[in-house]
Amino acid sequence: MQRVLVTGGAGFIGSHVVDELMARGDEVHVIDNFFNGRREHLPGLPVKQVHEGDLRDAAWMAKTVAGLAPERVFHLAAIHFIPYCNEHPTESVMINIQGTQNLLDALAGTPAERLFFASTAAVYPPKEGEHLETDPIDPMDVYGATKAAGEALVRGWGAAHRKAVAVGRLFNAVGHRETNPHLLPDIMVQLIAGKRTIALGNLDPRRDYIDARDMARAILAASDHVATGSDVFNIGANRQYSVVDVVDMFSAALGEKIEIVQDQARVRKVERPSLLAGIAKLNHATGWKPEIPLERTLAELVA
């Protein structure tokens, strides 16, 4: 058993990571400001192990983290939604970059030996075919830029303090507990309202969708693997679907035909055409592989 800190642990991915850690018997503590996270995502976690606070509050972070004295840290707290980041760049920088540095500063003097940092596929420039960890870093939006900076900060911290750092470049997570208005929640809201002709934005982009439970297992596998130094891993499913493909799967799960109307107000002006995770590195290092097909995830959401 280890004492583990998960920042953003009440969020979409963070809460699934908490589930995995608790299942293996760790003492889990969560820091979350509940901007997007929800307390109901942590039903099995004692209230005393949920700490409400903000990464931007350096003094609060220093006091809280010192008191927790974690042995391992999973840093998932961030502003994630790309349109929101583009509209609020200063806030995104302060949370995703300054907040990360505040956490690193707060870890001084604690027994923490391993840190997992949740980065993103948005650090990569547009590309057809698999993105590999050796690809150049050239983000095209504010979110990707903040995460590229975060990667540099955590790797520098690890090198300076001889700590183990695993960086996970997360692709498109889907499933239960989603907290941002991405494609699947947008579709679900309209279906729940009884609509069978739904309004969507960009229809052609292809994305690599991975169930959040598979992603959580991958995050633990990456962190367990990196015992010294630092390393980076893509975390995705190595399969692509267009928006139309996803809607067709919803139709099959629902047993009803769903029509699409493109809403120009929802169309992103800048949109990469393709994201596909090359996941051979993590698979070869740890044996991890995704187990939950997208069809099952969507069927569960519909049910």
Same domain, 167 and 266: no
What sign for the dihedral angle of Cα 288, 156, 19, 9?
Answer: negative
Q: Which two tokens stand for residue 212?
A: 């959040």
In this predicted structure, what is the pLDDT of residue 232? Answer: 98
Residues 93 and 50 in one domain: yes
Residues 112 and 245 in one domain: no
Q: Is residue 162 part of a domain?
A: yes
Residues 131 and 202 in one domain: no
Asked whether residue 19 falls in the same domain as residue 108, the answer is yes
Name the residue range of residue 253's domain.
180-208+238-275+292-302
Contact 127, 135 (CB under 8 A): yes
CA pair distance 297, 292, nearest whole angstrom: 7
Q: Which residue has the tokens 């947008």?
A: 186
User: How far is Cα 92 from Cα 250, in angstroms, rounded to an integer?
Assistant: 33
Query: Are 138 and 184 part of one and the same domain?
Result: no
Question: Are 195 and 136 found together in one domain?
Answer: no
Give the residue from 123, 173, 113 showing the smallest Cα distance to 151: 123
76 and 40 inside one domain? yes
Based on the domain organization, do 192 and 89 belong to the same domain?
no
Mean pLDDT per 10-residue run, the chain (303 residues)?
97 98 98 96 96 98 98 97 94 98 98 98 96 97 97 98 98 93 91 95 94 98 98 98 96 96 87 95 98 96 92
107 and 243 inside one domain: no
Q: Are residues 60 and 160 in the same domain?
A: yes
In a domain, 83, yes or no: yes
DSSP per-residue string spanning the chain: --EEEEETTTSHHHHHHHHHHHHTT-EEEEEE--SS--GGG-TTS-GGGEEE--TT-HHHHHHHHHHH--SEEEE--S---HHHHHH-HHHHHIIIIIHHHHHHHHTTTS---EEEEEEEGGGSPP-SS-B-TTSPP--SSHHHHHHHHHHHHHHHHHHHHT-EEEEEEE-EEESTT--S--HHHHHHHHHHTT-SEEEES--S-EE-EEEHHHHHHHHHHHHHH--SSEEEEEES-S--EEHHHHHHHHHHHHTS--EEEE-GGG--SS--SB--B--HHHHHHH-------HHHHHHHHH-
pLDDT on residue 181: 81
Do both 81 and 23 map to the same domain? yes
Does residue 283 sit within a domain?
A: no
Q: What is the CATH number of the domain that holds 244?
A: 3.90.25.10
CA distance 147 to 92: 10
CA distances from 107 to 72, 89, 157, 162 (A): 10, 26, 10, 13
Instruction: Specify the number of domains making up the chain.
Output: 2
Say what the pLDDT of residue 180 is: 85
Q: Which residues have CB under 8 Å from 106's CB, separation 6+?
A: 58, 61, 62, 64, 65, 66
Nearest to 50 by CA among 34, 62, 36, 35: 34
Q: Residue 297: CB partners within 8 Å, gap ≥ 6?
A: 174, 175, 209, 211
CATH number, position 148: 3.40.50.720
Residue 280 lies in a domain: no
Structural domain contains residue 40: yes
Render pLDDT for 26-84 as a digit per residue (tens, 0 to 9).
999 999 999 999 999 999 999 999 999 999 999 999 999 999 999 999 999 999 999 99
